[in-house]
Amino acid sequence: MDGYIGIIVIVALVAVLAVGGLFLLFRPKAKDLPSVQTPPEAPAPEVGERAAPGLGEQDGGTTTTLPPPAEELVKAPEIEVPPPSAGRMVRLRSRLARSQNVLGRGLLELLSRDRLDDDVWDEIEETLITADVGVAPTRVMVEELRTKVKVLGSRSPQDVRRLLRDELLAQIGPELDRTLHTEAPGRPAVVLVVGVNGTGKTTTSGKLARALVGDGKKVVLGAADTFRAAATDQLQTWGDRVGAGVVRGPEGGDPASVAFDAVAKGIADAADTVIIDTAGRLHTKTGLMDELGKVKRVIEKKAMVDEVLLVLDATTGQNGMRQAQVFAEVVNVTGIALTKLDGTAKGGIVISVQRELGVPVKLVGLGEGPDDLAPFDPEVFVDALIGD
């Protein structure tokens, strides 16, 4: 019995040793094990380079003097002090030269002719139509000019000038209230800028912010045209140049939420004016209505919208006018910013757009320079057209 037990113990020992030996012989090598990915080690900072401290970390207090990081060497952008808006139209009146040639000089020359027969009146009518005065206002003007010329009898050059000046002014409406509502008691005024892409909406928003800063106002800009990254960056640049805060959202983000945040910032910063640049995609009328309607509703949770400024490119004629009409049907437009008047002979659009939309022109764009936006002054405009 004892002999059997001894044999079993010896066999068991041999078996254990054999299994152990086999394991040692065939154990997996490190490279055969599935590897765990470790991030590559950051290269050790070179001499003269400073490892940036992480968030909440203290800089280790190295003893070597190191050059400042590149961003510290870049000078902070200088904040410009723009000129005030008053008197700008006088300064920019020479920019109306092209309209002056057609509407001003052209009409003066025709009206000064000795004999004003039907052919001349047809030419006068054509001149007004060509300058985009619009069919109905042209008829009214021709009728009134005819009557006044008859009453006048003989016409001195001064008489003709006065006649034309009075008539153009009457059509433009010097009595219309052109106040841009950029102030509100106890809160920032909100200006919503709408219009078709390419009309100069973003530029006008930036120029307006600049002009208001020039007038001593504190301005916040809202980049609610989230569909175009370029528009947001453009607005940021305008804001940075004059120290106006810019609220922007992610590309393709909700325009209404950007508008809301901009108004909230305006209130928090005790700003005078919040200007919101919107997207001008004319996809469908209902799409546009939904988009702008939502922006306006969401803003109104915070503050009233004081001004809805429709931007219209003066060079686009009837086509531009039709598009502007769609906007006017969708939102309650309170003022028109007529851009690119410097590049057109069609200054008569001031008359037709006011008549078509029933809203006064409040601002005019007279160039691509940052200060080439002016409050619209009917008398300066007419005098620029026909010469003093």
Identity at 91, one-letter amino acid code: R
Distance of closest approach, residue 386 Cβ to ligand GDP, in angstroms: 22
Q: Which of 188, 280 has the CB closer to ligand GDP? A: 280
Residue 301 or 322 with smaller CB distance to ligand GDP: 322
Is residue 200 within 8 A of residue 365, CB to CB? The reply is: yes
- Tell me the closest approach of the beta carbon of residue 110 to ligand GDP, in angstroms: 29
Q: Which residue has the tokens 């009898």?
A: 153
Nearer to ligand GDP, 45 or 369 (CB): 369
Residue number, 197 or 236, with CB nearest to ligand GDP = 197
CA dist 181 and 98 (Å) reads 31
Q: How far is the CB of 347 from ligand GDP (least distance, A)?
A: 13
Integer-rounded Cα Rg, in Å, for the chain is 36
Q: In angstroms, what is the minimal distance from the CB of 160 to ligand GDP?
A: 31
Smallest gap from Cβ 130 to ligand GDP, in A, equals 20
CA distances from 163 to 103, 111, 134, 379 (A): 14, 9, 20, 14
Nearer to ligand GDP, 171 or 203 (CB): 203
By beta-carbon proximity to ligand GDP, the closer residue of 127 and 339 is: 339
CB 225 → ligand GDP: shortest distance, Å?
Answer: 7
Least Cβ distance, residue 230 to ligand GDP (angstroms)? 8
Q: Nearest CA to 386 among 158, 226, 183, 177?
A: 158
Question: Under 8 Å CB-to-CB from 59, ≥6 apart: which residues?
Answer: 50, 53
**132 vs 372, beta carbon nearer ligand GDP:** 372
**CA 271 vs CA 107, 184, 295, 311: distances in Å:** 47, 10, 20, 23
Q: Least distance (Å) from ligand GDP to the CB of residue 244?
A: 16
Q: Which residue is nearest to ligand GDP (CB)?
A: 365
- Residue closer to ligand GDP (CB basis): 161 or 201: 201
Instruction: Give me the least distance between CB of 376 and ligand GDP, in Å please.
Output: 12
Rounded-to-integer distance, Cα 374 and Cα 172, Å: 17
> CB-wise, 104 or 365, nearer to ligand GDP?
365
Cα–Cα separations (whole angstroms), residue 103 to 60, 65, 141, 156, 205: 73, 70, 13, 19, 29
Q: Note the residues at the interface with ligand GDP (CB under 6 A).
A: 197-203, 231, 280, 339-340, 342-343, 365-368, 372
Residue 252 falls in which region: left (phi positive, over 0), alpha (psi -120 to 50) or beta: left
Could you tell me the two tokens for 67?
Answer: 């050059």
End-to-end Cα separation, the chain, in angstroms = 139
Classify residue 197 by burial, with Cβ atoms within 10 Å: 0-12, 13-18, 19+: middle
DSSP letter assigned to residue 36: P
- Where are the strands (E) in the chain, listed by range? 189-194, 219-224, 245-248, 273-278, 307-313, 335-339, 361-365, 373-375
For the bound state, the minimum distance from the C-beta of residue 277 to ligand GDP, rounded and expressed in Å, comes to 7
CA geometry: angle at 205 spanning 199 and 206, to 5°?
A: 115
Nearer to ligand GDP, 128 or 194 (CB): 194
